[in-house]
Structure 1
Amino acid sequence: MPRVLLVDDDVELLELLGEYLIQDGFSIERAYDGLTGAQAALSGQFDIAVIDVMMPQMNGIETLRKIRSLSHLPVILLTAMGDDADRIIGLELGADDYVPKPSSAREIAARIRAILRRSQGFAKDQLAAVTVGQLTLWPSERRASWAGQALELTSTEFSLLEVLAQFAGRPVSKEQLSQQGLGRPLAKFDRSIDVHLSSIRHKLGLLPDGRSCIQTVFRQGYQLIREQ
């Protein structure tokens, strides 16, 4: 039974969301402030955390920052509708996905399942290491290295990089990256893919000739360079 941590100061909302998730087959625990939520998230007892951005004292962004300093636990942020700034900051800090509020419990449950399916399920089908130039991925362990050095990737970053590696040398559309990497269709004006890939590029660094190994292909998407 997947273990989900819900963090929000809205008691009524958490009660309703928690009840839905329990009926949908999840084990849940609630935290009503960012500090308690961060401590719970770092306990190692959960598979994923859903955190609201708008909380007093320690908001969701600071809660995520604290979690990411010590853990790669998958995190979904609940953000205000149309608040692009919080979404981008959250993704840059390592959030795996976001859900705009108000949203249905069914939508949140679907996002949770998509992330857990990627991080726990897909890897079982791929045991062999995947190597493209200086990049090596171990899907069964959700582990990656660049030039022999371990890469610190979030679950979503690993999934996106894995998709690019599978199609190395060929462009991959943002729609395909969203479907296979995020587990959902690409939404209009959604910049999640761009922000995640910007973070991955930063972590990989540059090739000897100064280029990024992940190239933007005009009107086609992104491509992982095969020759590195």
Structure 2
Amino acid sequence: MITFNYYGHACFMLDTGHEKLLFDPFLTFNTQATVKPKDIECDYILVSHAHEDHFSDALKIAEKNHPMIIAIPEIINLFPNGYDNVHGMNLGGSAQFSFGTVTMVPALHSSGVPGGVACGFVIHFNDDTVVYYSGDTALFSDMKLIGEKQKIHYSILPIGDNFTMGIEDAAKAAQLLKTSYVIPIHYNTWPIIEQEPKIFKSYAESIAHCFVKIVKPGQSLDLEYMHK
């Protein structure tokens, strides 16, 4: 059973029971966070891009845990020269890890690091659960191709608008992806991205025929095992 632990904004962990995958570590200045960087234990850190609200605690957590960093090369270069537990990837590439396979997919967003690109991740876990984390992104038509390549069980999508997709575009993304479940994130951290997730749930479920799971910061969700 894979557990989704939500720390607020776009920071979350996927825990397989054997490995802990931390995504976009942003805790110190995250008013939604219920944990501090010192509380985090993880085996991997996956970084979608280098904006402060996705990367600011990565170095601190890496120093404590020495996890493997999975990111584009430009982000990996932000870590100290002596930090050797890294795996650089780029768009379209896949790699095998102890928990399953990671495929790096595009995201339409600025990268936060010179020469870099923003990305999302499709993770095919060893139990055949498939999770798509879009990262910060606009709606784009190739989401349909991402959903056609393999059946996506859970999609983790931003709904905050202004910096990313808003409610309507995120619901359309769920429709293109043909995902079974959606977990909305990246909203209500600041007034400029305030959204009502129940409105997203109602709209997305009506047009995308998926189930929306609203997880509050500090809460967890066990991801149901779903056969492809």
TM-score, L = length of structure 1? 0.33
Greater share of residues in strand: 2
Structure ID, larger Rg: 1
Q: Which has the higher helix share?
A: 1
TM-score w.r.t. structure 2 length? 0.33
